Amino acid sequence: MNNFMIHTRNLVKVYRNGFVETPALSNVNLDVGKGEYVAVFGPSGSGKTSLFNILGLLDNPTSGEVFFMGREIGSLPERQRTRIRRGNIGFVFQHFNLVDELTVQENIELPMIYHNLSLKERRYRLMEAMERFRLSHKRHEYPRQLTNLQQQTVALARSVVFNPGLLLADEPTGDLDSASGTEIMELLSMVNEHGIAVVLFTHSLREAQKAQRMVQVFDGHIVTQGSQGLI
Amino acid sequence: MRWSSFIKIAFRNILLHRGFSLVSLIGLSFGIAIALLVLAYVDYETSYDTHYPESEHIYRLVSHGMIGDDTIQSALTPQPLAQVASGFNGVKASSRLVPGTRKLVKSNYARFNEPYFFYADNGFFHVFEIPFLIGNPTEVFNDTNSVVLSRSASQRFFGTRNPLGEELTLDNGLVLKVTGVYYDLPENTHLRADFIANWQIIESRMEESLKDEYPKWINNWFALNTYTYLRLSEDVSIDSLENYINTESGKLSRIYFNDFAVGMDVDYEKMTVRAKVQPISDIHLSTHLDHEIQKGASSTYVSVFAGIAIFILVITAINFMNLTTARAARRFKEIAIRKTFGAGRRHLVLQFFIESVLFCFLALGLALVFMELFFGRFTELFDISMGHSSFINQISFGWVLLITLLIGVIAGSYPSFFFSGLRAEKVFKGQMRTHRWGIIIRGILVAFQICIAVALMSVSMAMHNQLNFLKSAPVGYNPENLIVIEREYALGAQSDSVKQLLLSKDEIESVSSVHFVPGDETSIMSYKNVSDTAQVVLMATNMVDAHFFKTIGARLAKGRWFEEQDYADSSLVVINESAARMLGFNQLENCKLELIGSGLATEQLVLNVIGVIKDIHYESLKNQVRPMVFMQHFQGARSEHLLVKFKKGSMEVGIHKVEEVWTSVLPEEPFVYFNQIDKLDELYREEYRFARIGLILAFIALVFAILGLIGMVSFVVQSKSKNMEISRMLSASSPLILVGTFRGVSGYIFAGILSSLLISPLVIDYWLSGFYYSFTPSGYCLIIPLVFMSIVSFLTVYLVGIRVFKSVVKKSES
Ligand SMILES: Nc1ncnc2c1ncn2[C@@H]1O[C@H](COP(=O)(O)OP(=O)(O)OP(=O)(O)O)[C@@H](O)[C@H]1O
Ligand SMILES: [Mg+2]
């Protein structure tokens, strides 16, 4: 079990809005190993984002257990979840979610602000990430001056700059044209090759196939699990 | 570190939202500026008399007790008291002090009316160790006729010349020689002295004129006529000092009584005036005794000011907080991103605190500029006697920083609280709904601001009503077309011929010599009803001539006023109705008064009352009319004022003619006069001040309330438009949203307005309770502000609602 980056048991998520209950996930059992690349694949409304939030420690499950690096975190309060999230999990979203008031460099630097890294270390990692994602020449520009692809690249650089164990990406190509999408997928693979576990949430089978392993969700259930060859 | 990154983003945000930043910056710095000005003033008032070297060891002796049935609380003491006090072990120095001429002082180069002239003992400079520019304080009074003066007075009289050895001639004929110059005393002292002359000259003068009567004068224990100051050593027990002084003075006054007052029908046991020791720092605010050198400030007034400062700070902070939060609502995404990447609650709190504190310091910079610009305006508006230099000295940098920090923290706290509950995953999903609590808290703040604004409007309306009432209230005489010329005694023997000359002018109706005019502090003396030996009555005593009655326009109740032929009989007096009531005089037959304790009178002085006039208000209508005795001027007695009554409409021309006459008779003497109506206004200076402050505050509160409303309405409209997800059908539902907004906001508006109805009557009543004569406040004082605020509020809601709504439509269409 300790080899798992993240590991869930009988995960259930039900949204309550007043008297209406919407089940989003039911009995989800999912393991993601260290350094693994997993694609969670399913149609719209199947519960991908719900799972993304729980795995990313942004939300609590209604019931069931979630282990992050061996520690049960499903019922932890927000404060402790934030502490665990800090420095361990990177996020990429469909809509990029960059801070508009910050430059490229500042956006990439942002996660390290909340981390007790020395200035030197921060500088070094920042330079390294900008080199790696070929953003150095854009460092002083603002998100609104960038193309969508460049923005998503910045978002990706931001997510890995602090060298997390896990990267979660929720429809990272949703706002991109197909050429750009391909480029982002390549970058994701590159990230994974650097030893970071990646969980990609997508409704595109073509993209899902880039992962080592696919998990198909439908109506909140995991339908199949296995290596690529099985589908 | 992360601090630098927060500071950077703070500046970035300020610049990115320039318009918004400018509005909040100006509002904030304006609030800070006013609050700091007010606080500096409060500090100025509360630090009175603390600037003297070792001022905490300087004390004053004052008198408390009873004379007959009257309570005495006077800053004055008997003259021999200082001598007695200096016999006590812990008294290092003591000094007597009396105000001298408050009139004309001449040098060879200049002449001025000098209100701050005093006589003091040698010991004065040991009690108050004021620094000297020229001369040695221990030697300046070596000669009997020496005088020292302040640096600015020296400049006034001698320019750049060396004043040492120069002469000053006083109104009373004394010629004094300058032996020293001291640095100007701070403005905030009760003892604003520009001249201090050697007391010895008074004694030698009195000795000359009184001859055998001199011991009776110099030892008089029954006249309160001298200020007494002491410097004490550190470990003195005030109680034992007071005991010592009162025991010793008790013995001496007994001896004096036996020596000089035998035969006078006065009960010694009924005079129980005791000396009290008072730190000089208490004089200005804490004790309000009779016969102060300078009128103290009411501590209520100063507390009100302190309250105002805090009030303005709170309102400013609330307003700033409101604006910050409104802006922060646009930063949901940023916050959500920061949270996702590990920002904990304390990071966000820190970020918002840094941003708002930084902003506050920017505002502080601007505030300092405002303060410099508005200082004159401020002192004028609030009628404050604080010079610019004292103001600068008064501002303590530590305090300023602390206050700014405080506003920053208060203003930053709400957004931090607001955001700590933000759920990142909901923001990303676009599900972030406006906090219901956000609206409720804002609503309460707006209600509070509205309540304060309405209450202040009501109160200041009531204040203005009361002041109008006071101004138009009958004062028992006619102050119109009446001027008061100062220093009538300067006319000397020519007084009568000048009066005749004046009366021959067409514009002048009548002329009269009088000692005290309404508004002056009168001298109080003790009397007895001859047929009732037990009761001693303190009555204001005035010296007038036969024309006073007509000139001032008084009305008669009983008997008659003086005639010119009465001058021969100095025992005739007229009293006012209050005095008649107090003395129990129901009819005029055999009404005899006896003047007690007049130290110089050798035989007892019995006075015959020939008339009773209706009460004249000599003091403000805050106080009950004092019983007053009008005596005739003794032949050749010094009379202070010349009253001139003009015929209707001819006052302006008339004054010129009076001046012509004066300068033709006395070309050397300045012609100084005032209008009696202005003197009346002077009586209500503090009330006018309060009323003006009320109005200004009402205005400030109104502006802040409207700003608060604007913030809240735009918030509600925005959230309503979003919640209803009507971006496509907005135009159809526009009235719906406005109605919804009205409904959401009006509750708070009415809550604010109605709760003011609970507060304002209480405040108005409290204020009016300070007046002996007051009007009954009409309902209009409550209704007009209420209606006004309702209209303003709903107009604001409507106009802002429409605007914000349109901008939301535009955004959703693009
Ligand atoms: N906050 C919420 N409150 C109520 N229901 C919700 C909430 N979030 C998601 N749901 C519902 O839960 C189900 C799963 O939604 P989820 O967003 O996890 O699916 P998804 O696979 O990410 O879909 P998409 O491809 O549209 O992003 C859906 O039916 C959705 O309507
Ligand atoms: Mg989704």
Per residue in B231-263, pLDDT (tens digit) is 999 888 999 999 999 999 888 888 887 877 655
Q: What is the pLDDT of residue B167?
A: 93
Nearest partner of B293 among B76, B73, B486, judged by Cα:
B76
B334 vs A: CB within 8 A: yes
Please tell me which residue of chain B has the smallest CA distance to A123: B1
Please tell me which residue of chain A has the smallest CA distance to B17: A101
Which of B316-325, B378-387, B388-397, B561-570 holds the top average pLDDT?
Answer: B561-570
| Three-state SS letters, B416-472 | HHHHHCCCHHHHHHCCCCCCHHHHHHHHHHHHHHHHHHHHHHHHHHHHHHHHHHHHH
User: B726 pLDDT band (50/70/90 cuts)?
Assistant: very low
pLDDT over 70 percentage in chain B: 89
Q: How far is B354 from chain A (nearest CA, A)?
A: 15
Contact call for residues B386 and B44 (beta carbons, < 8 A): yes
User: A229 pLDDT band (50/70/90 cuts)?
Assistant: very low
- Calpha distance A218→B250 (Å, rounded): 107
Q: Say what angle helices B730-768 and B780-813 make with each other, to 10 degrees.
A: 150
Distance of CA A6 to the CA centre of its chain: 12
Q: What is the pLDDT of residue B704?
A: 79
Q: What is the pLDDT of residue B434?
A: 55
The average pLDDT across B170-198 equals 90
- Calpha distance A39→A216 (Å, rounded): 8
The average pLDDT across A90-100 equals 92
User: B733 pLDDT band (50/70/90 cuts)?
Assistant: low
Strands B523-529 and B536-544: antiparallel
- Calpha distance B465→B763 (Å, rounded): 14
Is the confidence at residue B769, as pLDDT, over 70? Answer: yes
pLDDT over 90 percentage in chain B: 21
Q: What is the pLDDT of residue A50?
A: 93
Q: What is the pLDDT of residue B438?
A: 66
The average pLDDT across B184-193 equals 88
The CA A48 to ligand 2 mean position distance, Å, reads: 5
Contact call for residues B570 and B606 (beta carbons, < 8 A): no
Is the confidence at residue B812, as pLDDT, over 60? Answer: no
Tokens linked to A91 = 């996020």
- Calpha distance B604→B476 (Å, rounded): 32
User: B669 pLDDT band (50/70/90 cuts)?
Assistant: confident
Q: What is the pLDDT of residue B102?
A: 64
Q: What is the pLDDT of residue B35?
A: 83
Q: What is the pLDDT of residue A14?
A: 93
The CA A93 to ligand 2 mean position distance, Å, reads: 10
Choose, out of B340, B350, B431, B432, the residue to mutate when testing the contact with A (most A CBs < 10 Å): B340
CB contact under 8 A, A53 and B425: yes
Contacts of B783 (CB under 8 A, 6+ apart): none
- Calpha distance B293→B76 (Å, rounded): 9
| CA distances for B513 relative to B544, B582, B637, B666, B675, angstroms | 6, 27, 11, 17, 16
Q: What is the pLDDT of residue A151?
A: 95
Q: What is the pLDDT of residues B54-94, one digit of tens each?
A: 999 999 999 998 776 777 888 889 989 999 999 999 999 99
- B522 or A192: which carries more pLDDT confidence? A192
The average pLDDT across A65-69 equals 92
Q: What is the pLDDT of residue B649?
A: 86
Q: CA torsion, points B544, B550, B555, B558, in degrees to nearest 10? A: 70
Residue bearing the CA closest to ligand 1, atom 28: A45
In chain A, what residues touch B338 (CB-CB under 8 Å)?
Answer: 99, 110, 114
Is the confidence at residue B1, as pLDDT, over 50? Answer: no
Lowest mean pLDDT among B18-22, B57-61, B90-94, B499-503: B18-22
Q: What is the pLDDT of residue B635?
A: 64
Q: What is the pLDDT of residues B344-383, one digit of tens each?
A: 888 888 888 888 888 888 988 998 888 888 888 877 777 6
What value does the mean pLDDT of chain B take? 83
B425 vs A: CB within 8 A: yes
* Interface ipTM above 0.85: yes
Q: What is the pLDDT of residue B810?
A: 65
Q: What is the pLDDT of residue B599?
A: 47
Q: How far is A205 from chain B (nearest CA, A)?
A: 23
Tokens linked to B21 = 């930043």
The average pLDDT across B651-680 equals 87
Q: What is the pLDDT of residue A193?
A: 93
User: A227 pLDDT band (50/70/90 cuts)?
Assistant: low
Q: What is the pLDDT of residue B177?
A: 95
B350 vs A: CB within 8 A: no
Lowest mean pLDDT among A197-201, B375-379, B550-554: B375-379
Which of A151-155, B767-771, B799-803 holds the top average pLDDT?
Answer: A151-155
Tokens linked to B227 = 């200020």
Q: What is the pLDDT of residue B419?
A: 73
The average pLDDT across A197-222 equals 90
- B134 or B692: which carries more pLDDT confidence? B134
Q: What is the pLDDT of residue B721?
A: 63
Contacts of A229 (CB under 8 A, 6+ apart): none
The average pLDDT across B666-670 equals 81
- Calpha distance B757→B466 (Å, rounded): 19
Nearest partner of A45 among A172, A201, A208, judged by Cα:
A201
Q: What is the pLDDT of residue A88?
A: 92
Nearest beta carbon to residue B342 from set A59, A109, A114: A114
Nearest partner of A7 among A53, A68, A51, A59, judged by Cα:
A68
State whether the beta carbon of A203 lies less than 6 angstroms from ligand 1: yes
Q: What atom in ligand 1 is closest to the CA of residue A217?
A: 21
- B681 or A27: which carries more pLDDT confidence? A27
DSSP string, B467-523: HHHHHHS--SS--TTEEEEE-GGGGGGGHHHHHHHHHTSTTEEEEEEES--TTSPPE
Contact call for residues A67 and A1 (beta carbons, < 8 A): yes
Is the confidence at residue B25, as pLDDT, over 70? Answer: yes
Q: What is the pLDDT of residue A137?
A: 93
Q: CA torsion, points A56, A62, A63, A64, in degrees to nearest 10? A: -20
CB contact under 8 A, B342 and A53: no
The average pLDDT across B794-811 equals 77
Contact call for residues B36 and B383 (beta carbons, < 8 A): no
Q: What is the pLDDT of residue A101?
A: 85
In chain A, what residues touch B5 (CB-CB under 8 Å)?
Answer: 106, 109, 113
DSSP H/E element including B119: strand B117-120
Q: CA torsion, points B179, B184, B189, B193, in degrees to nearest 10? A: 30
Please tell me which residue of chain A has the smallest CA distance to B2: A113
Q: What is the pLDDT of residues B434-487, one digit of tens each?
A: 556 667 777 888 898 899 889 989 988 888 888 888 877 888 888 889 999 988
Is the confidence at residue A230, as pLDDT, over 50? Answer: no
State whether the beta carbon of A201 lies less than 6 angstroms from ligand 1: no
- B588 or A190: which carries more pLDDT confidence? A190
Residue bearing the CA closest to ligand 1, atom 4: A15
- Calpha distance B541→B465 (Å, rounded): 33
The CA A22 to ligand 1 mean position distance, Å, reads: 9
Tokens linked to B286 = 């804490």
Q: What is the pTM of this model?
A: 0.70
Q: What atom in ligand 1 is closest to the CA of residue A42?
A: 21
B336 vs A: CB within 8 A: yes
A34-62+77-227 architecture in CATH?
3-Layer(aba) Sandwich (3.40)
The average pLDDT across A104-119 equals 88
Nearest beta carbon to residue B333 from set A56, A97, A114: A97
Which of A36-50, B270-284, B317-331 holds the top average pLDDT?
Answer: A36-50
- Which residues face B94 on adjacent strands? B230
CB contact under 8 A, B339 and A100: no
Q: What is the pLDDT of residue B727?
A: 46
How is chain A split into domains, by residue range? Answer: 34-62+77-227
Contacts of B753 (CB under 8 A, 6+ apart): B450, B451, B454, B786, B789, B790, B793
Contacts of A170 (CB under 8 A, 6+ apart): A48, A49, A52, A91, A92, A93, A94, A201
Q: What atom in ligand 1 is closest to the CA of residue A220?
A: 14
Lowest mean pLDDT among B60-64, B765-769, B804-808: B804-808
Lowest mean pLDDT among B298-302, B503-507, B786-790: B298-302
Is the confidence at residue A1, as pLDDT, over 60? Answer: no
Nearest beta carbon to residue A114 from set B8, B333, B341: B341
